[in-house]
Amino acid sequence: MERIKQKLGKLNKVCVIISCIHWLLSFFTDRLIFSYVAFDFHETILALKSIVMLLAKFVFFPVLIVFWQLIYWLIKKADRRFVRFFVIYGAIQIMLLLLTWPGIWRIDEFGILSSACKLHPFFWQNYITSVFYIYALMLVPVPAGVIMAQMFVNSLIAAYIASHTEQLLWERTSKWGYLLLLPFLFFPVLDSNLYPMRMSVYAFLELYVLFLIFELFEAKKHMAAAKRPQMTEAVCGKGADITKLVQVVLFGAIVAVWRTEGIYYLAILPILITIIFWNDRKRAWFRNVVISFCALTLLLFGVQAVGGRLTSGNSYDLTSVVLPVVPLIERAYEEDSAEAEQLLAQIDKVLSVEEAYKGAKAGKNGISLFWSNEKFIRDYTNEEYAAFKHAFYQLVLRYPGTFLKERMTCFAESTTLLDNTTELFTKEGNQNYDTFRTYPLSGPIHNGIRTSVIKMLELRSAEDYNKTLTAYGIVYSHIIPIVLLVAAIIICLVKKRGIYSMLLLAPCCKVPLIFLTAPSRLFMYYYSVYLIGWVVAIYGVTAVVCKRRRMRHE
């Protein structure tokens, strides 16, 4: 309790007052974009909705406290290296946002925005995304407010990683330190920062969690080298490392749950923490850290699992097999055997085998049929879906070549970006676009400039958005950073740096999971590996060059 009082005592009073004023004003500014029920207790449903609103506003107050205290810290107390990187990267992003105002909007985010304005969770894209949207819109009540919040978080993380790495490589500020911002300035990264989908913040958070673990290991290593056995004490309350561990627990749990394939972090992060602190004299504290992480992760995951099942049933899970199942159906359909017919009969209870076969012959893939063909998906029970999944696995084992061919094609061609976002203010008859235009400050500052900047970032032809430039396949390739990550892992293994190889292996673990389950050929599925791969590659090269220059000077 005493520690809590000490922490509260450190809050800037002016920031607390500003937070109170901002919180009170938000009840009025919310009306610009939100359409939730407020203070209406005449009926049970309306009363429940009002309670949800009050709970949301109750949580919003500490969010504001943290936000304004963070602003104060940036202005008054933050390390000048950190501020320099934050201002540079933030300014570049704000400039791009103004040029492309209100940002890059494609498909799913319209539904998330609409649900968030009613304080409804959108479980298809994970309810954490809805929570992020809701509080971003309470901070800045316009659609671009979501992107502003996203840019703010990403700028903090990029500045933290760049400034701490610069401090590690150079004792003083160096002009070479600006190279550390380079991977965050790649066109796919800047484009993603303008795109209000979970993968943008998710990728930065995953990178941040892994970097924090790296710093914890470095601190432990230097403590051991200095023969100072007080590591437990330093980590557990008298040093900055306790803050890092708390962040690893909080953000690590979010990383494990926010994307379905990230759940493997539930095992990986406890292993990494245990390896780092196993030799400490008092182990109870880090056992508590591991338990806290697992408990929080399971709690967040449980909410998503229950909510997803109630709102979409098996549909989301079905998207993970709908691409490979169509060529498998085509292959089995053309085989005259009783076993193949039996498997297709199980498939047909969930997906129309006839529609799948006709679609395959017409050159349509499974995800296209899933969203556009009403006859493709049947009404089915949970038992029929379980039988369908079993039949799907049997088809994979029966025709592994067909399955792997489709998966390899999907992997190699996962460079696609969704709809033409330059048509947001010109295309008529699209309900999502029409609804979006009714929100405040949703129009572009200059549509021509907006279109040109988006085409530049996405390497599109100036004449036709649908035509990509030659360099597109390289710049938006996820294969190159994956190869670089694998190479870095091999180098670390050769140099017997096991913890580093495990850290680098962590993001790579999702590659086979995405490879097996990706529902479409989209760049965003591999985006976090793309970002981490390029950061590791550029930072690794910078560290090597810095070390060699230092050795020559010595």
Alpha-carbon dihedral angle through residues 340, 342, 344, 348, given to the nearest 10 degrees = 170
pTM of the full structure: 0.92
Cβ(364)–Cβ(322) under 8 Å?
A: no
CA–CA dist 12, 35 (Å, integer): 33
445: tokens are 């500052």
CA–CA dist 307, 469 (Å, integer): 42
User: What is the pLDDT confidence band of residue 554, given thresholds at 50, 70 and 90?
Assistant: low
Mean pLDDT of the chain: 88
For 172-205, give one letter per residue: b (16+ CB within 10 A) or e. eeeeebebbbebbebebbbbbbbbbbbbbbbbbb
Mean pLDDT of the region 244-266? 93
CA–CA dist 257, 266 (Å, integer): 9
Per-residue pLDDT tens over the stretch 11-24: 788 999 999 999 99
pLDDT higher than threshold 60 for residue 6: no
Looking at per-residue confidence, does 5 or 500 come out higher?
500
**Confidence at residue 276, expressed as pLDDT on a 0 to 100 scale:** 82
Percent of the chain past pLDDT 90, that is, above it, reads 61
Mean pLDDT of the region 344-354? 91
Q: Helices 353-361 and 338-347 sit at what angle, rounded to 10 degrees?
A: 100
Please state the domain extents for the chain: 1-77, 315-412, 421-468
Per-residue pLDDT tens over the stretch 35-53: 887 777 778 888 888 888 8
Looking at per-residue confidence, does 5 or 167 come out higher?
167
Per-residue pLDDT tens over the stretch 403-459: 999 999 999 999 988 888 999 999 888 899 999 999 999 999 999 999 999 999 999
CA–CA dist 254, 479 (Å, integer): 26
State whether residue 468 is helix, strand or coil: strand
Cβ(488)–Cβ(506) under 8 Å?
A: no
Mean pLDDT of the region 165-174? 79
**Confidence at residue 225, expressed as pLDDT on a 0 to 100 scale:** 60
**Confidence at residue 99, expressed as pLDDT on a 0 to 100 scale:** 96
372: tokens are 């556009």
**Confidence at residue 45, expressed as pLDDT on a 0 to 100 scale:** 81
Per-residue pLDDT tens over the stretch 129-144: 999 999 999 999 999 9
**Confidence at residue 324, expressed as pLDDT on a 0 to 100 scale:** 92
Q: Which residue has the tokens 């909510």?
A: 307
